[in-house]
Amino acid sequence: METFEEIQSIISANLNVPTASIRPDSKASDFSEWDSLHHLVLVMDIEQKFAFNFSLTEIAELDSVEKIVKAIQKRVKT
């Protein structure tokens, strides 16, 4: 499974939205469900899935699917 598809699946499960509504260019603001609590849960699920931790600065900057995918790809060779 590609990184985007894995992130798409995690976001879909956490926000209870269809995977088809999550695109690479989707931003947190595109989803009313994506509040600060969901953001932290998403980050924790992503960290667990990929076995690494984001810094606090990175967590604050992960406000789009594209940024999340790029941050993961920076650490994990896909």
Q: Structural domain of residue 41, as residue ranges?
A: 3-75
| Amino acid identity, position 7 | I
Structure confidence by residue, pLDDT tens digits, 41-73: 999 999 999 999 999 999 999 999 999 999 999
CATH number at residue 50: 1.10.1200.10
Q: Which residues pair with 64 in a beta bridge?
A: 27
Number of domains in the chain: 1
Q: What pLDDT band is residue 76 in, cutting at 50, 70 and 90?
A: confident
Asked whether the whole model's pTM tops 0.85, one would answer yes
Two tokens at 67? 């940024």
Structure confidence by residue, pLDDT tens digits, 5-50: 999 999 999 999 999 999 999 999 999 999 999 999 999 999 999 9
